Chain A
Protein backbone atom coordinates (compact mmCIF):
# COMPACT_ATOMS: atom_id res chain seq x y z
CA UNK A 1 0.00 0.00 0.00
CA UNK A 2 0.97 3.63 -0.37
CA UNK A 3 -0.59 6.31 1.84
CA UNK A 4 -0.04 10.05 1.56
CA UNK A 5 -1.01 12.91 3.85
CA UNK A 6 -0.29 16.40 2.54
CA UNK A 7 -0.96 19.99 3.50
CA UNK A 8 -1.39 22.82 0.98
CA UNK A 9 -0.17 26.38 1.44
CA UNK A 10 -3.48 27.43 3.01
CA UNK A 11 -3.24 24.73 5.68
CA UNK A 12 -5.85 22.44 4.13
CA UNK A 13 -5.13 18.73 4.53
CA UNK A 14 -5.48 15.93 1.99
CA UNK A 15 -5.20 12.20 2.50
CA UNK A 16 -5.09 9.41 -0.08
CA UNK A 17 -4.06 5.82 -0.48
CA UNK A 18 -3.48 3.01 -2.93
CA UNK A 19 -4.73 -0.31 -1.59
CA UNK A 20 -2.29 -3.01 -2.70
CA UNK A 21 -3.06 -6.60 -1.80
CA UNK A 22 -2.65 -10.14 -3.04
CA UNK A 23 1.08 -10.73 -3.32
CA UNK A 24 1.85 -14.37 -4.16
CA UNK A 25 -1.84 -15.26 -3.92
CA UNK A 26 -2.04 -16.86 -7.35
CA UNK A 27 -0.99 -15.46 -10.72
CA UNK A 28 -3.49 -15.25 -13.56
CA UNK A 29 -1.35 -15.81 -16.65
CA UNK A 30 -4.14 -14.95 -19.09
CA UNK A 31 -4.81 -11.53 -17.58
CA UNK A 32 -1.27 -10.93 -16.31
CA UNK A 33 -2.51 -10.12 -12.81
CA UNK A 34 -2.55 -11.46 -9.25
CA UNK A 35 -5.62 -13.66 -8.82
CA UNK A 36 -6.79 -12.36 -5.45
CA UNK A 37 -6.05 -8.74 -6.39
CA UNK A 38 -8.32 -9.14 -9.41
CA UNK A 39 -11.03 -10.82 -7.35
CA UNK A 40 -10.99 -8.15 -4.65
CA UNK A 41 -11.83 -5.36 -7.11
CA UNK A 42 -15.54 -6.21 -7.50
CA UNK A 43 -15.77 -6.37 -3.69
CA UNK A 44 -14.71 -2.75 -3.19
CA UNK A 45 -17.48 -0.49 -1.90
CA UNK A 46 -17.86 2.98 -0.49
CA UNK A 47 -19.74 2.89 2.81
CA UNK A 48 -21.50 5.60 4.78
CA UNK A 49 -21.92 4.46 8.40
CA UNK A 50 -24.93 6.18 9.94
CA UNK A 51 -26.55 6.46 13.33
CA UNK A 52 -29.93 8.21 13.70
CA UNK A 53 -29.77 8.82 9.93
CA UNK A 54 -26.61 10.91 10.34
CA UNK A 55 -23.15 10.05 9.05
CA UNK A 56 -20.78 8.85 11.75
CA UNK A 57 -17.95 8.08 9.35
CA UNK A 58 -17.35 7.03 5.75
CA UNK A 59 -15.05 4.36 4.48
CA UNK A 60 -13.76 2.60 1.46
CA UNK A 61 -14.07 -1.07 2.19
CA UNK A 62 -14.33 -4.65 0.98
CA UNK A 63 -17.72 -6.35 1.05
CA UNK A 64 -17.71 -8.97 3.79
CA UNK A 65 -14.95 -7.26 5.76
CA UNK A 66 -16.15 -5.58 8.95
CA UNK A 67 -12.90 -3.82 9.88
CA UNK A 68 -11.70 -0.59 8.29
CA UNK A 69 -8.64 0.06 6.18
CA UNK A 70 -9.47 3.60 4.98
CA UNK A 71 -11.96 6.06 6.41
CA UNK A 72 -12.87 9.62 7.22
CA UNK A 73 -14.74 11.12 10.13
CA UNK A 74 -16.22 14.35 8.75
CA UNK A 75 -14.84 17.43 10.46
CA UNK A 76 -12.47 15.41 12.64
CA UNK A 77 -9.87 13.11 11.03
CA UNK A 78 -9.01 10.68 8.26
CA UNK A 79 -7.27 7.35 8.77
CA UNK A 80 -5.62 4.70 6.64
CA UNK A 81 -3.91 1.48 7.66
CA UNK A 82 -0.80 0.12 5.96
CA UNK A 83 0.63 -3.31 6.56
CA UNK A 84 3.91 -3.49 8.50
CA UNK A 85 5.81 -6.72 8.06
CA UNK A 86 7.74 -8.06 11.02
CA UNK A 87 9.07 -11.32 12.41
CA UNK A 88 7.02 -10.47 15.50
CA UNK A 89 4.00 -10.46 13.21
CA UNK A 90 0.29 -10.96 13.49
CA UNK A 91 0.55 -14.74 13.49
CA UNK A 92 2.02 -14.50 17.02
CA UNK A 93 -0.88 -12.29 18.11
CA UNK A 94 -3.24 -14.77 16.48
CA UNK A 95 -1.63 -17.65 18.38
CA UNK A 96 -1.86 -15.71 21.66
CA UNK A 97 -5.53 -15.05 20.99
CA UNK A 98 -6.19 -18.74 20.33
CA UNK A 99 -4.53 -19.78 23.63
CA UNK A 100 -6.62 -17.24 25.53
CA UNK A 101 -4.49 -14.09 25.81
CA UNK A 102 -7.04 -11.67 24.40
CA UNK A 103 -6.03 -8.20 25.53
CA UNK A 104 -4.88 -6.93 22.12
CA UNK A 105 -6.87 -5.33 19.30
CA UNK A 106 -7.40 -6.96 15.93
CA UNK A 107 -5.99 -4.31 13.60
CA UNK A 108 -8.91 -3.39 11.43
CA UNK A 109 -11.31 -3.64 14.37
CA UNK A 110 -9.29 -0.96 16.14
CA UNK A 111 -9.41 1.36 13.12
CA UNK A 112 -13.17 0.78 12.88
CA UNK A 113 -13.54 1.52 16.60
CA UNK A 114 -11.48 4.70 16.26
CA UNK A 115 -13.52 5.92 13.30
CA UNK A 116 -16.76 5.11 15.10
CA UNK A 117 -15.99 6.50 18.53
CA UNK A 118 -13.16 9.04 18.51
CA UNK A 119 -14.24 12.62 18.09
CA UNK A 120 -11.03 14.46 17.22
CA UNK A 121 -7.59 14.06 15.65
CA UNK A 122 -5.91 14.05 19.08
CA UNK A 123 -8.38 11.54 20.47
CA UNK A 124 -7.78 9.22 17.50
CA UNK A 125 -4.01 9.64 17.75
CA UNK A 126 -4.04 8.83 21.46
CA UNK A 127 -6.06 5.65 20.88
CA UNK A 128 -3.85 4.48 18.00
CA UNK A 129 -0.66 5.17 19.96
CA UNK A 130 -1.72 3.51 23.20
CA UNK A 131 -3.73 0.43 22.24
CA UNK A 132 -2.17 -3.01 22.40
CA UNK A 133 -2.32 -4.75 19.01
CA UNK A 134 -2.28 -8.27 17.64
CA UNK A 135 -0.11 -7.25 14.68
CA UNK A 136 2.37 -4.50 13.77
CA UNK A 137 1.06 -1.66 11.60
CA UNK A 138 1.42 1.83 10.19
CA UNK A 139 -1.43 4.19 11.00
CA UNK A 140 -1.62 7.22 8.72
CA UNK A 141 -3.71 9.90 10.34
CA UNK A 142 -4.83 13.26 8.99
CA UNK A 143 -6.75 16.05 10.71
CA UNK A 144 -8.53 19.32 10.10
CA UNK A 145 -5.96 21.92 11.08
CA UNK A 146 -2.50 22.80 9.82
CA UNK A 147 0.08 20.33 11.13
CA UNK A 148 -2.50 17.68 11.95
CA UNK A 149 -1.03 14.73 10.13
CA UNK A 150 1.23 11.91 11.25
CA UNK A 151 2.40 8.39 10.62
CA UNK A 152 2.39 6.14 13.66
CA UNK A 153 4.70 3.15 13.43
CA UNK A 154 3.50 0.39 15.72
CA UNK A 155 4.84 -2.91 16.93
CA UNK A 156 2.33 -5.18 18.64
CA UNK A 157 3.03 -3.71 22.06
CA UNK A 158 4.66 -0.30 21.55
CA UNK A 159 4.68 2.85 19.44
CA UNK A 160 8.06 2.94 17.73
CA UNK A 161 7.73 6.31 16.04
CA UNK A 162 5.34 9.21 15.46
CA UNK A 163 6.29 11.20 12.38
CA UNK A 164 4.33 14.46 12.17
CA UNK A 165 3.73 16.98 9.41
CA UNK A 166 5.73 20.14 10.09
CA UNK A 167 5.43 22.77 7.38
CA UNK A 168 7.73 25.15 9.27
CA UNK A 169 10.49 22.61 8.72
CA UNK A 170 9.38 22.02 5.12
CA UNK A 171 7.64 18.72 5.86
CA UNK A 172 4.38 19.39 3.99
CA UNK A 173 3.70 15.77 3.07
CA UNK A 174 4.24 12.32 4.52
CA UNK A 175 4.49 9.13 2.46
CA UNK A 176 4.17 5.66 3.92
CA UNK A 177 4.58 2.50 1.89
CA UNK A 178 5.30 -0.64 3.92
CA UNK A 179 8.67 0.22 5.43
CA UNK A 180 9.93 2.02 8.53
CA UNK A 181 10.88 5.58 7.61
CA UNK A 182 14.32 5.25 9.22
CA UNK A 183 15.18 2.29 7.00
CA UNK A 184 15.63 2.06 3.24
CA UNK A 185 12.80 0.26 1.47
CA UNK A 186 13.49 -3.19 0.07
CA UNK A 187 15.53 -2.67 -3.08
CA UNK A 188 12.96 -4.45 -5.28
CA UNK A 189 10.02 -2.57 -3.78
CA UNK A 190 10.88 1.11 -3.70
CA UNK A 191 7.60 2.97 -4.09
CA UNK A 192 8.56 5.59 -1.51
CA UNK A 193 11.14 7.46 -3.60
CA UNK A 194 9.01 7.65 -6.78
CA UNK A 195 6.07 8.96 -4.71
CA UNK A 196 8.29 11.58 -3.03
CA UNK A 197 9.79 12.60 -6.36
CA UNK A 198 6.33 13.18 -7.82
CA UNK A 199 5.10 15.08 -4.75
CA UNK A 200 8.19 17.31 -4.89
CA UNK A 201 7.56 17.94 -8.58
CA UNK A 202 3.92 18.77 -7.84
CA UNK A 203 4.93 21.32 -5.16
CA UNK A 204 2.94 22.37 -2.12
CA UNK A 205 1.11 25.24 -3.85
CA UNK A 206 -0.42 22.77 -6.34
CA UNK A 207 -1.31 19.96 -3.98
CA UNK A 208 -4.92 18.76 -4.11
CA UNK A 209 -6.77 15.46 -4.34
CA UNK A 210 -6.46 15.42 -8.18
CA UNK A 211 -2.68 16.00 -8.06
CA UNK A 212 -2.28 13.33 -5.37
CA UNK A 213 -4.27 10.99 -7.63
CA UNK A 214 -1.63 11.71 -10.30
CA UNK A 215 1.11 10.64 -7.89
CA UNK A 216 -0.75 7.44 -6.99
CA UNK A 217 -1.20 6.72 -10.71
CA UNK A 218 2.52 6.73 -11.45
CA UNK A 219 4.29 3.37 -11.72
CA UNK A 220 5.58 1.72 -9.54
CA UNK A 221 3.39 3.48 -6.93
CA UNK A 222 0.62 2.04 -9.08
CA UNK A 223 1.45 -1.61 -9.61
CA UNK A 224 -0.06 -5.06 -10.24
CA UNK A 225 -1.18 -5.33 -6.61
CA UNK A 226 -3.16 -2.08 -6.65
CA UNK A 227 -6.84 -2.79 -6.09
CA UNK A 228 -8.07 0.79 -5.69
CA UNK A 229 -7.18 4.41 -5.06
CA UNK A 230 -9.05 6.29 -2.33
CA UNK A 231 -9.05 10.07 -1.87
CA UNK A 232 -10.11 11.54 1.48
CA UNK A 233 -10.80 15.07 2.60
CA UNK A 234 -11.73 15.71 6.22
CA UNK A 235 -13.37 19.13 6.27
CA UNK A 236 -16.42 18.04 4.27
CA UNK A 237 -16.06 14.32 4.91
CA UNK A 238 -15.39 13.64 1.25
CA UNK A 239 -14.32 10.19 0.06
CA UNK A 240 -13.94 8.87 -3.48
CA UNK A 241 -12.66 5.46 -4.51
CA UNK A 242 -11.62 4.24 -7.96
CA UNK A 243 -10.77 0.73 -9.05
CA UNK A 244 -7.36 0.52 -10.69
CA UNK A 245 -5.53 -1.53 -13.25
CA UNK A 246 -1.88 -1.55 -14.19
CA UNK A 247 -1.40 -2.63 -17.80
CA UNK A 248 1.96 -4.05 -18.86
CA UNK A 249 4.71 -3.10 -18.52
CA UNK A 250 4.02 -2.82 -14.80
CA UNK A 251 5.81 -3.76 -11.61
CA UNK A 252 4.38 -6.95 -10.05
CA UNK A 253 4.40 -5.22 -6.62
Chain B
Protein backbone atom coordinates (compact mmCIF):
# COMPACT_ATOMS: atom_id res chain seq x y z
CA UNK B 1 0.00 0.00 0.00
CA UNK B 2 1.10 3.57 -0.67
CA UNK B 3 2.50 5.53 2.24
CA UNK B 4 0.96 8.89 3.08
CA UNK B 5 3.65 11.39 1.96
CA UNK B 6 3.09 13.49 5.09
CA UNK B 7 2.97 10.73 7.69
CA UNK B 8 5.72 10.35 10.26
CA UNK B 9 6.76 8.09 13.09
CA UNK B 10 4.66 8.40 16.22
CA UNK B 11 5.81 11.31 18.37
CA UNK B 12 6.83 10.45 21.92
CA UNK B 13 8.22 13.55 23.63
CA UNK B 14 5.86 16.35 22.62
CA UNK B 15 4.48 17.07 26.09
CA UNK B 16 4.84 19.53 27.74
CA UNK B 17 4.13 21.43 24.51
CA UNK B 18 7.06 23.24 22.92
CA UNK B 19 8.88 23.47 19.62
CA UNK B 20 7.64 24.28 16.13
CA UNK B 21 4.18 22.66 16.42
CA UNK B 22 3.30 24.65 19.54
CA UNK B 23 1.93 28.17 19.00
CA UNK B 24 1.09 29.08 22.58
CA UNK B 25 -1.49 28.78 25.33
CA UNK B 26 -4.98 30.23 25.18
CA UNK B 27 -6.32 32.90 27.56
CA UNK B 28 -8.80 31.92 30.28
CA UNK B 29 -12.15 33.60 30.87
CA UNK B 30 -15.10 33.19 33.20
CA UNK B 31 -18.62 33.42 31.78
CA UNK B 32 -21.14 34.25 34.46
CA UNK B 33 -24.39 32.45 33.64
CA UNK B 34 -26.19 34.50 36.29
CA UNK B 35 -25.85 37.60 34.11
CA UNK B 36 -28.45 38.43 31.46
CA UNK B 37 -27.47 36.62 28.22
CA UNK B 38 -26.66 39.84 26.37
CA UNK B 39 -24.02 40.76 29.00
CA UNK B 40 -22.28 37.41 29.44
CA UNK B 41 -19.72 37.66 26.64
CA UNK B 42 -18.99 41.40 26.76
CA UNK B 43 -15.56 41.22 28.49
CA UNK B 44 -14.29 38.35 26.35
CA UNK B 45 -15.54 39.82 23.08
CA UNK B 46 -14.24 43.29 23.90
CA UNK B 47 -10.77 41.77 24.40
CA UNK B 48 -11.00 39.81 21.14
CA UNK B 49 -12.82 42.39 19.06
CA UNK B 50 -9.93 43.08 16.66
CA UNK B 51 -9.22 39.38 16.01
CA UNK B 52 -12.93 38.66 15.48
CA UNK B 53 -13.20 41.49 12.96
CA UNK B 54 -10.19 40.21 11.00
CA UNK B 55 -11.67 36.71 10.74
CA UNK B 56 -15.12 37.95 9.74
CA UNK B 57 -13.61 40.37 7.21
CA UNK B 58 -11.83 37.39 5.60
CA UNK B 59 -15.00 35.32 5.46
CA UNK B 60 -16.95 38.20 3.94
CA UNK B 61 -14.19 38.75 1.41
CA UNK B 62 -14.55 35.15 0.27
CA UNK B 63 -18.31 35.51 0.07
CA UNK B 64 -18.00 38.73 -1.91
CA UNK B 65 -15.83 36.91 -4.42
CA UNK B 66 -18.83 34.66 -5.07
CA UNK B 67 -21.57 37.31 -4.83
CA UNK B 68 -20.36 40.40 -6.67
CA UNK B 69 -23.65 42.28 -6.53
CA UNK B 70 -23.80 44.69 -3.56
CA UNK B 71 -27.61 44.57 -3.50
CA UNK B 72 -27.59 40.77 -3.12
CA UNK B 73 -24.95 41.00 -0.39
CA UNK B 74 -27.02 43.55 1.54
CA UNK B 75 -30.12 41.37 1.17
CA UNK B 76 -28.18 38.35 2.43
CA UNK B 77 -26.89 40.28 5.45
CA UNK B 78 -30.44 41.39 6.28
CA UNK B 79 -31.65 37.80 5.99
CA UNK B 80 -28.90 36.58 8.31
CA UNK B 81 -29.73 39.27 10.87
CA UNK B 82 -33.36 38.13 10.71
CA UNK B 83 -32.20 34.52 11.16
CA UNK B 84 -30.49 35.63 14.36
CA UNK B 85 -33.83 36.76 15.77
CA UNK B 86 -35.29 33.26 15.21
CA UNK B 87 -32.58 31.45 17.22
CA UNK B 88 -33.63 29.96 20.57
CA UNK B 89 -33.16 31.74 23.89
CA UNK B 90 -30.61 32.42 25.39
CA UNK B 91 -28.45 32.01 22.28
CA UNK B 92 -30.28 34.77 20.37
CA UNK B 93 -29.66 37.26 23.17
CA UNK B 94 -26.04 36.19 23.64
CA UNK B 95 -25.37 36.64 19.91
CA UNK B 96 -26.97 40.09 19.95
CA UNK B 97 -24.79 41.00 22.94
CA UNK B 98 -21.67 39.82 21.10
CA UNK B 99 -22.53 41.79 17.94
CA UNK B 100 -23.09 44.89 20.02
CA UNK B 101 -19.90 44.50 22.11
CA UNK B 102 -17.76 43.77 19.06
CA UNK B 103 -19.44 46.47 16.96
CA UNK B 104 -19.97 43.94 14.17
CA UNK B 105 -23.23 43.58 12.18
CA UNK B 106 -25.57 41.01 13.75
CA UNK B 107 -25.78 38.98 10.52
CA UNK B 108 -22.00 38.49 10.51
CA UNK B 109 -22.00 37.10 14.06
CA UNK B 110 -24.98 34.88 13.19
CA UNK B 111 -23.17 33.35 10.23
CA UNK B 112 -20.11 32.65 12.42
CA UNK B 113 -22.35 30.87 14.91
CA UNK B 114 -24.02 28.64 12.33
CA UNK B 115 -20.83 27.66 10.52
CA UNK B 116 -21.29 24.05 11.51
CA UNK B 117 -24.63 23.69 9.77
CA UNK B 118 -23.34 25.39 6.62
CA UNK B 119 -20.19 23.30 6.31
CA UNK B 120 -21.56 19.79 6.78
CA UNK B 121 -22.18 19.30 3.09
* Residues of A participating in the B interface, judged by any CB pair closer than 8 Å: 25-26, 35-36, 39-52, 56, 60, 63-67, 81, 83-87, 89-91, 93-94, 97-98, 102, 106-109, 112, 116, 134-137, 190, 194, 197-198, 201-202, 209-211, 213-215, 217-220, 222-223, 228-229, 241-247, 249-251
Contacts and interface: CB of A to CB of B under 8 A. Distances in A.
A218 B10 contact: yes
B62 A26 contact: yes
Interface string B48-62: 100110110011001
Interface of B: 4-17, 20-34, 41, 44-45, 47-48, 51-52, 54-55, 58-59, 62, 83, 86-88, 91, 94-95, 98, 102, 109, 112-114, 116-121
User: Which of B25, B26, B121 neighbours the largest number of chain A CB atoms within 10 Å of its CB?
Assistant: B26
Contacts of A89: 117, 120-121
Contact of A45 (B16, B48, B88, B95): B48
A249 B98 CA distance: 38
Contacts of A43: 48, 51-52, 55
Given A109-B88, A214-B15, A244-B21, A219 B7 contact: yes
B116 A83 contact: yes
Contact of B10 (A26, A42, A198, A220): A198
Contacts, number: 203
Given A90-B121, A94-B117, A52 B34 contact: yes
Contacts of A222: 21
A112 to B, nearest CB: 8
Given A25-B59, A39-B58, A109-B88, A116 B33 contact: yes
B112 A94 contact: no
A193 B41 CA distance: 39
Contacts of A83: 116, 119-120
A45 B51 CA distance: 12
B26 A90 contact: no
Nearest to B25: A242
Contacts of B29: 45-48
Contacts of B98: 64, 66
> What 7 A-B pairs have minimum CB-CB distances, sorted nearest first?
A90-B117, A210-B15, A63-B48, A243-B23, A251-B6, A198-B10, A89-B121
A150 to B, nearest CB: 21
B62 A25 contact: yes
Contact of A135 (B23, B87, B109, B117): B117
26 contacts: A26-B62, A36-B58, A40-B55, A44-B26, A45-B26, A46-B27, A47-B31, A50-B30, A64-B112, A66-B41, A83-B119, A83-B120, A85-B121, A87-B121, A94-B114, A97-B83, A106-B116, A106-B117, A108-B116, A135-B117, A135-B120, A190-B4, A202-B10, A214-B11, A215-B10, A241-B26
A90 B5 CA distance: 33
Contacts of A46: 26-29
